[in-house]
A and B are shown apart, each in its own frame.
Chain A
Amino acid sequence: MSNTLAIAGKELRGYFASPMGWVILGLFALLFGFFYYTFMDLFVRQSMQLSQFGQGPQAMNVNQYMIRPLLQNTSVIILFVLPMITMRTYAEEKRSGTIELLLTSPVTDLQIIVGKFLGAMALYTAMLLVTAVYMGLLYRFGDPEVGPIASGYLGLLLLGGCFIAVGLLVSSMTKNQIVAGMATFGTFLMLWVVSWIGDSAGPTMRTVLSYLSITDHFDDFSKGIIDTKHIVYYLSFITLGLFLTAKAVDSERWRG
């Protein structure tokens, strides 16, 4: 555990020792802010229109009409941002040779992988915490329900965890950060759009593909529903990703 935390700490420090961590944090806050403003603007105008037709402003639910689409859009933003976090994790260590230090130290592969995963998760959590400030502002002027927000954030954490696990796997297979970043992004995109293909497929296929699509499982979280089915999906996805990363690192050892 102490080894894992040491590596997680090193990863997190690595993000903020270079401008990268700050750039990602800033970029994410900016993108989130843009969508936040857009949806809020839309919400305000719609509720004003409604009130002109004689219905009160409370008729529109801020959770349903603003926070939910905002969180769903966030799930797409992280699809673009997370590859930047994970692309260097292994690739950079391999390029600079520091992987030799890790692999010849008395730590297991799994401790290294989980350490790197936790490090990336910590940065990702920091990103989400920044957006929590925006959410807090809503309480100043409105009265959103806390439940759906919390479940939405839980969903985002789990979804991001899956992305990070995939990103680690891809990064462990190359020396080149750019290749790792592009391949990770491509994989994320596939995991996202796989349900679109499902829309035009037959009913059985549609169910299967929609179940596979990593973002479809997020819908319920954004609605405020915490379904164990989705939690199990995400946790097993993360486990599989980390397991495959361990296999990739091990096979790299044999091949040299």
Chain B
Amino acid sequence: MIEVNHLTKRFGRVTAVDDVTFRVERGEILGFLGPNGAGKTTTMRILTGYMPATDGTAVVAGFNVFEQPLDAKRRTGYLPETPPLYPDMTVREYLDFVARIKGLPPAERRPRVDTAMERTRVADVRDRHCGKLSKGYRQRVGLAQAILHNPEVLILDEPTAGLDPKQIIETRELIKGLAGDHTIILSTHILPEVSQTCQRVVIINKGRVVAVDTPANLTKRLRGSEMLYVEVDAGAADARALFERLPGVTRVGETGRHDGAVGYEVETVRGQDIRRDLARAVVHEGWGLLELRPTGMSLEEIFLQVTTSEEPVAEVSHE
């Protein structure tokens, strides 16, 4: 549905997007993840035909956005970072105007506007001026504008930015509900959003694609080894030596001690669960086992890892 090939965008000497390539299948929600200034917005602006690329191609809904911009734009809905509202228009007037410039035939405009207002739950403010709406409503009217002409492709730039927690959940549900008939790209720098709404993630940093995968796979990929956190009260004995002797353990690190208890990080070979052996050994020694839990990396840590370090992803170890 969306095909991006070797897309590059330079502003003078600054390269905002550098050789970005990815695909989005029909009905899929793709998360675009990266820190501020990573090139997310620029990529989206290129896809929506707002600005041309310096190099590379982008095909949206079967149309090259540089060669057939009008055809591509007719099939794309776009919510920019700041919802593009005219403060002097009422919500209804605004959506009517959008319906006209999106090229909807006169007979379809009214029902489409009504449907969009209903889906985004802005019908109750239809006669208020856009400039007087709260941030949450503004965002939703922006979303209504994007889905108005029932586009095949939806491009949403930080759709939940600035919303309160309840609105964020509602917006996510709305976006999930739109998937299926629509192919969606959404950008965010908030990680839980990606794992909750997206089927696939493109992590982008400094204009380059760092990783493309499902949220689950990304987490797995980073877990080249598995990690356990253990806290024991071993008295004067050396628990570390015991743990190191257990089969499957590759490394043991002490993380801290308080009130006689010592915390360890035990790294094991991937796919081998040593929790039972470890518990049995501790009990056998007569020590107190205070805590034992696996520590997988959260997406947040992955994000930090992939976007802050140059090292290959698999070699990342927990400090």
Docked-complex contact B101 and A102, CB < 8 angstroms: yes
Please encode chain B, from 69 to 108, with 1 for each CB lying within 8 Å of some chain A CB and 0 for all others. Answer: 0110110101011111111110001000110111100000
Cα distance, A103 to B82, chains bound together (Å): 15
Which of A2-10, A47-55, A138-146, A154-162 is the interface stretch? A2-10
Of B11, B49, B83, B93, which contacts A104 at CB under 8 A? B49
User: Is B48 part of the contact surface with A, judged by Cβ < 8 Å?
Assistant: yes
Given contacts A101-B145, A105-B101, contact A14 B86 (CB under 8 A): yes
User: Is A203 part of the contact surface with B, judged by Cβ < 8 Å?
Assistant: no
User: Is B42 part of the contact surface with A, judged by Cβ < 8 Å?
Assistant: yes
CB distance from B250 to the nearest CB of A (A): 49
User: Is A96 part of the contact surface with B, judged by Cβ < 8 Å?
Assistant: yes
User: Is B50 part of the contact surface with A, judged by Cβ < 8 Å?
Assistant: yes
Given contacts A96-B84, A104-B78, contact A6 B100 (CB under 8 A): yes
Of B49, B76, B87, B100, which contacts A103 at CB under 8 A? B49
User: Is B279 part of the contact surface with A, judged by Cβ < 8 Å?
Assistant: no
Cα distance, A9 to B96, chains bound together (Å): 12
Of B80, B86, B101, which contacts A6 at CB under 8 A? B101
| Number of residues of chain A lying within 8 A (CB) of chain B | 27
CB distance from B90 to the nearest CB of A (A): 9
Cα distance, A183 to B80, chains bound together (Å): 30
User: Could you say which residues of chain B place their CB within 8 Å of the CB of A108?
Assistant: 70
User: Could you say which residues of chain B place their CB within 8 Å of the CB of A256?
Assistant: 9, 11, 16, 42, 45, 51
User: Is B52 part of the contact surface with A, judged by Cβ < 8 Å?
Assistant: yes
Docked-complex contact A254 and B51, CB < 8 angstroms: yes
Docked-complex contact B84 and A100, CB < 8 angstroms: yes
Nearest opposing residue in chain A for B14, CB measure: A256
Most buried by A among B73, B81, B145: B73
User: Is A202 part of the contact surface with B, judged by Cβ < 8 Å?
Assistant: no
Residues 175-199 of A contacting B (Cβ, < 8 Å) = none
Docked-complex contact B86 and A98, CB < 8 angstroms: yes
User: Could you say which residues of chain A place their CB within 8 Å of the CB of B51?
Assistant: 253-254, 256
Of B84, B93, B103, which contacts A3 at CB under 8 A? B103
Cα distance, A7 to B78, chains bound together (Å): 19
Nearest opposing residue in chain A for B48, CB measure: A104
5 cross-chain pairs, A with B, having the tightest CB-CB distances, nearest first: A17-B88, A101-B84, A6-B100, A104-B48, A98-B84
- Beyond the given pairs A96-B87, A256-B16, 19 more chain A to chain B contacts, judged by CB atoms under 8 angstroms and listed by A's residue number, are A6-B97, A10-B97, A14-B86, A96-B82, A97-B80, A99-B84, A100-B50, A101-B78, A104-B73, A104-B76, A104-B78, A105-B101, A106-B70, A106-B73, A106-B74, A106-B101, A253-B51, A253-B52, A256-B51
